[in-house]
Amino acid sequence: MTSLTRRAAIAGATLAPFAIARAQAPWPDKPVRLVVPFTPGGSTDILARAMGQRLGEIFNQPFIIDNRPGAGGTLGSEQVFRAAPDGHTLMMGHIGTLACNPALYRNLSFDTAQFTPIALVANVANFLVVTNGLAARDVQSLIALAKSKPGELTYGSGGNGSAAHIAMVAFNEATGTEMTHVPYRGTGPMMTDLIAGTINLTMTGGPPALPPVRAGQLRALGISSLQKLPSAPEIPTIDSQGVPGFNALQWYGIVGPPNMPAPLVARLNEACNRILGEATFAGRLEAEGAVAQPMTPAEFGAYIARERDFWGTLIRRNNVSLG
């Protein structure tokens, strides 16, 4: 063995214990950043804060909610995609960022399919809600009103290509109606204008929709799931009101950068599913129109792939534009 080889061997032997110690360092050893790629106030933000609080209690480190809105969630998504896969940067993803955006943004500089799936948190039925001043009292009367005034009724969303936008595209396709989309920079400001009567309607998740409905500020005509929600049994499904098979759910789940270590993913998944199994937490979700949906990381990954195929086809078929 040459002197150079001996020095390399000694250096390797000396550094090896440090490399092992680093690989086995406790996690999390600093605050975890849970990115929400949208403005505060929407369903993604509300669910992220609820999960982040409990995860912080379990792991004894703060899970800091970091709102990074822009470009339909792609700006915040890319930040997470480029982050170190050490578990200290995660994202509350949802149907838009993980399933719809690949079809909406043809020139993304990152592949959403490479995010590490960690845990599906919840399915959230969309609520079709209208201003109190709109004449429609149920889904069929809304359809009739929209058909009598093609393009005159306006529906809002958190932005072009957002989950609410795509859900209404699906509704227009299923009912043969034409309503005009008004995009906002987030669900929160959109709901403010809807309550004020600036726009006519929206189809969005329970967390932002239910409180104003229960306060009498808006009226719910139907929900987009095939079954009624236990938390709102008085609201009929859209499917039962003459739009058979209409099923447009939003869903939310935690993902991380590509190539996160499997043991860390398993630990996070176990913690998330533990939280979803807690009666208090599940009840909190149910009260907001969300349904806890525990899955393994592999199941969540397969679920994302199926949703990407389904909604991507709908987007392309309807030539949905981001402009």
Confidence of residue 25 (pLDDT cuts 50, 70, 90): low
Whether the per-residue pLDDT at 210 is higher than 60: the answer is yes
Q: Which of 44-48, 142-146, 192-196, 285-289 has the lowest mean pLDDT?
A: 285-289
For residues 55 and 114, membership in a common domain is answered with yes
For residues 71 and 129, membership in a common domain is answered with no
Give every CB contact of residue 299 below 8 A, 6+ residues apart in sequence: 120
Structure tokens at 20: 């092992």
For residues 310 and 165, membership in a common domain is answered with no
Question: What per-residue confidence (pLDDT) applies to 161?
Answer: 83
Question: What per-residue confidence (pLDDT) applies to 60?
Answer: 96
The secondary structure of residue 132, as a DSSP letter, is T
Structure tokens at 130: 């209208």
Average of per-residue pLDDT across 279-290: 84
For residues 74 and 172, membership in a common domain is answered with no
Whether the per-residue pLDDT at 10 is higher than 70: the answer is no
For residues 117 and 43, membership in a common domain is answered with yes
Q: How many domains does the structure of the chain reveal?
A: 2
In a domain, 12, yes or no: no
Q: List Cα–Cα distances, 175 to 238, 275, 311, in angstroms.
A: 11, 39, 17
Give every CB contact of residue 17 below 8 A, 6+ residues apart in sequence: none
Whether the per-residue pLDDT at 5 is higher than 50: the answer is no
* Domain boundary, last residue among 241, 274, 298: 241
pLDDT-above-70 percentage for the chain: 92
Higher pLDDT, 9 or 110: 110
Residue count of the chain, please give it: 323
For residues 285 and 146, membership in a common domain is answered with no
For residues 233 and 255, membership in a common domain is answered with no
Domain that holds residue 92: 32-123+250-317
| CB 119 within 8 Å of CB 54 | no
Closest CA to 100 of 161, 151, 44, 55: 161
* Domain boundary, last residue among 224, 241, 258: 241
What's the chain's average pLDDT?
Answer: 90
In a domain, 117, yes or no: yes
Residue 65 burial (CB < 10 Å; 0-12/13-18/19+)?
middle
Question: What per-residue confidence (pLDDT) applies to 21?
Answer: 36
Q: Could you tell me where the beta strands, DSSP code E, fall in the chain? A: 32-36, 63-67, 89-94, 116-131, 154-157, 180-183, 201-205, 218-223, 249-256, 290-292
Question: What per-residue confidence (pLDDT) applies to 8?
Answer: 43
For residues 70 and 103, membership in a common domain is answered with yes
CATH number for 303:
3.40.190.150
CATH number for 198:
3.40.190.10
For residues 295 and 305, membership in a common domain is answered with yes
* Domain boundary, last residue among 207, 223, 241: 241
Structure tokens at 216: 């009498």
| Predicted confidence (pLDDT) per residue in 154-209, tens digit | 999 988 888 899 999 999 999 999 999 999 988 889 999 999 999 999 999 887 89
In a domain, 100, yes or no: yes
Whether the per-residue pLDDT at 129 is higher than 70: the answer is yes
In a domain, 49, yes or no: yes
Neighbours of 228 (CB within 10 A): 16
Question: What per-residue confidence (pLDDT) applies to 42?
Answer: 75
For residues 160 and 302, membership in a common domain is answered with no
For residues 263 and 300, membership in a common domain is answered with yes
For residues 116 and 215, membership in a common domain is answered with no
| Residue written as token pair 């208090």 | 280
